[in-house]
Structure 1
Amino acid sequence: MTTAQWIAVVVIVAIVSSGLTYFLVPAKTVTEVIEKEVTPKIKAGWIYVGPIGDYGWTKAHDEGRLFCEQIFPWLETTYVESVSEGDCPRVIEDLIADGCTVIFTTSFGFMDPTLEMAKKHPDIIFWHCSGYKRYKNMGTYFSEFYQLYYLNGLMAGALTKTNKIGYVAAHTIPEVVRHINAFAIGVKEVNPDAVVYVRVIHAWYDPTKAREAAEALIAEGCDVLAFTEDSPTVIEVGQEYTEKGQQIYTFSHYSPMEDYGPDSCVSGQIAHWEVIYADILAKIYAGYYTTTNLENIDYWWMLRQGACELGGKVGEPINPKFVDELKAIMVTDKITGEELSVYDLVMRRLAQMSEDVPTFDPFTGPLYDNKGVLRARPGERLGHDELWTMQWWYENVVGPELGG
């Protein structure tokens, strides 16, 4: 790698890491050093499982693509949306034929097709999102949300009046189970009597099924809803019921969704995929990542890396409408024994989990599943492998039978 390329990596990573997101970084600043040396342009293609207009998972990934396209003048991008798992290989072939030398596949179900194509095309760099299989020219990456789900759970457990909390789940793969359990851990920490009820819709993007599940949970007495589905439908349902006089608290998912439920959406999780994409692409451009050295490259970035943010709106951890209510509810910090408001507990845990070496993690024992089995001993913190293969429900979760 040349000196200019090394400088480019340092400059780019420093700027991206500074927290300037959503198209705030001037491209000239990022690349003025690079342009002193002739380097070929890169064409990168993204494959999306849903439509960009889902305002959830796919929308968040596309924001990351657009961010990189703006700050890197040496980058050309393209994308294909609403791709099924079975059609993934054909779409990859089309992108390669179109000149893409870097391909991002952005759904768990694309993992095996991506690996197959990586072996078939050793001269192409592949990156798969949310999976665990890698190859010499195929890395993996993920903006991890379990810390945020735990924080959402603290608020949900405090706000519920019925002690029934609903969760609309797309699937029951380990990623979703991990997030639901983190949410449930937060709920139980502040409200031992609350129960999380899970309804699975077996689709990443299906507004109709998401609405049916949300309304069914409300009919069963749930007054708080969280979800893993790629549209703002659950938020919209919460807003509709709230406007009719039945307060339903909701938590948004992956993209800023508060505007779909200003009187219902308390907080949520926001992905900053641009932080990960910019880091990856800068290192590819600089020659640091190649078609031969990705087998052990796995981005699992969280709060401390700036890959995610608490809130239903960028820059707003909690909807101001609910701040006073959360400040009025007093709980006990299970670690210090101190009495404080739920609002202050959320902010304390957020700070602890954002440290360079996090001093708190929700998956710290003792942890029991809903069958009474001890899953983490007192003081034991579950590691990467346990979290990435999780197939059991936390003790206050009522959900379908799992494989683990």
Structure 2
Amino acid sequence: MRKFWYLVLMLAMVAVPAMSGAAHAKDMKVGFVYVSPIGDAGYSYAHDLGRQAIAEMPGVSTSFVESVAEGADAERVILNMARKGYDIIFATSFGYMDPSLKVSKKFPNVNFMHCSGYKTSTNMSAYFGRMYQARFLAGMVAGSMTKSNKLGYVGAFPIPEVIRGINAFALGAQSVNPNVEVRVVWSKTWYDPATEKEAAKSLLDVGCDVIAQHQDSPAPQEAAQERGVYSVGYNSDMSQFAPNSHLTAAVWNWAPFYTDVVNKVKSGEWKHGNYWVGMDKGIVGLAPYGKMVPENVRNTVDARKAEIISGAYQVFSGPVFDQEGKERVAAGKHATDEELLGMTWFVKGVIGTTE
């Protein structure tokens, strides 16, 4: 009898690690690479909120590396994750595109996800959100609130993503205020608070009384508040940094998309390709309005938002003219996705160069 129970005990001891190994095998490892510090606002912060959402999913573990420079450093970090057996790697900055593509070819069983780019492979997808929809709405707010009819925009880099957002912002502002102009200054940064604040000040110095931005830091918001004028944030709600100036912000909500990707990879349903999702999927939107935004402005913007979500309104609807007066989108037409993704020109009413 003693031998019988000894045998049962030995079998149990063998079974426990085997069962533990099986459970471990079911865990999905998901990695994120960020171009800036997560902090408490901005682009990487918004992505990390999405990461936190999937970290709550059963059988999923996540990790991240922040402040990773684009280029060789990004390739090193992405390669390290792939070697460690990550199932999905989200590379969240435009400059991570080529490093992700290069590493993806060496690890065909890893799912690579690159944000804001356009290159894909059999195991690498490109994904982004139609932020220009939220930019248009934010422009409506700014155009309604300006007194000088001069809006300032601190741009990051002159790439189609940023140019498209500036154009959408301008079109939104012009839709409620035909006399408005948008002045652009390039910071050539994604995250450099000092540089971005100085860029905002240069726009304030020429009479702009609403400041918008395309960077991670809230420095342009702070510059606006210091001068007693309004601001429009980006990536996440930045009202805590400029509560007296912050009108709203064009914001990201990555949780629905990241959750969908993880679920489909786990079930074997994920198909690699190019995904560009919009306001109808809840990926982009507006932060809550500041207390200074009148009810009539809120109602007008909310009505347009509903039309964008339903598909009844297209942001880049013709006629749309560029700075030189050339018709870029004909009357009765809408800009195609190909035209939007390759946009390298400014609309009429934008003051600045695309260089």
Q: TM-score, normalised by structure 2?
A: 0.90
Q: CA deviation at 1:84?
A: 1.1
Instruction: Tell me the residue number matched to 1:20.
Output: none
Q: Which of the residues 265, 276, 299 maps onto 1:300?
A: 276
Q: CA deviation at 1:96?
A: 2.1
Q: Does 1:138 align with 2:114?
A: no
Instruction: Tell me the residue number matched to 1:349.
Output: 304
1:43-58 matches, cutoff 5 A? 43-53=29-39, 55-58=41-44
SS of the equivalent of 2:212 reads: strand
Q: CA deviation at 1:307?
A: 0.8
Instruction: Tell me the residue number matched to 1:165.
Output: 151
Q: CA deviation at 1:54?
A: 6.1
Amino acid at match of 1:149: R
SS of the equivalent of 1:51 reads: coil
Alpha-carbon distance between aligned partners in 2 of 1:54 and 1:118, rounded to the nearest angstrom: 31
Q: Which runs of 5+ in 2 are unaligned?
A: 1-22
Aligned positions, number: 332
Q: Which of the residues 68, 71, 74 maps onto 1:88?
A: 74
Q: Does 1:310 align with 2:286?
A: yes
Distance 1:321 1:163, change over 3 A: closer
Amino acid at match of 1:369: D
Alpha-carbon distance between aligned partners in 2 of 1:85 and 1:320, rounded to the nearest angstrom: 38
Instruction: Tell me the residue number matched to 1:319.
Output: 290
Instruction: Tell me the residue number matched to 1:201.
Output: 187
Q: CA deviation at 1:401?
A: 3.8
Instruction: Specify the structure having the higher radius of gyration (Cα).
Output: 2
1:112-261 matches, cutoff 5 A? 112-242=98-228, 248-261=229-242
Instruction: Tell me the residue number matched to 1:394.
Output: 347
SS of the equivalent of 2:294 reads: helix
SS of the equivalent of 1:320 reads: coil
Q: Which of the residues 40, 43, 58 maps onto 1:73?
A: 58
Q: Does 1:59 align with 2:14?
A: no
Q: TM-score, normalised by structure 1?
A: 0.80
Q: CA deviation at 1:345?
A: 2.1
Alpha-carbon distance between aligned partners in 2 of 1:170 and 1:189, rounded to the nearest angstrom: 25
Amino acid at match of 1:74: G
Alpha-carbon distance between aligned partners in 2 of 1:77 and 1:39, rounded to the nearest angstrom: 15
SS of the equivalent of 1:68 reads: helix
Amino acid at match of 2:81: L
Alpha-carbon distance between aligned partners in 1 of 2:329 and 2:100, rounded to the nearest angstrom: 34
Contact 1:143 1:273 in 2 (8 A): no
1:122-165 alpha-carbon deviations (Å, 9 max, x no partner):
12110000111100000111122111111111111121111111
Alpha-carbon distance between aligned partners in 1 of 2:108 and 2:24, rounded to the nearest angstrom: 25
Contact 1:48 1:80 in 2 (8 A): yes
1:26-72 alpha-carbon deviations (Å, 9 max, x no partner):
xxxxxxxxxxx9971110111111111161000000110011101x1
Alpha-carbon distance between aligned partners in 1 of 2:126 and 2:324, rounded to the nearest angstrom: 33
Distance 1:401 1:277, change over 3 A: closer
Alpha-carbon distance between aligned partners in 1 of 2:68 and 2:103, rounded to the nearest angstrom: 16
Alpha-carbon distance between aligned partners in 2 of 1:139 and 1:152, rounded to the nearest angstrom: 29
Amino acid at match of 1:93: L
Identity fraction in percent: 39
Runs of 4+, deviation exceeding 6 Å: none
SS of the equivalent of 2:26 reads: coil
Q: Does 1:370 align with 2:323?
A: yes
SS of the equivalent of 1:120 reads: coil
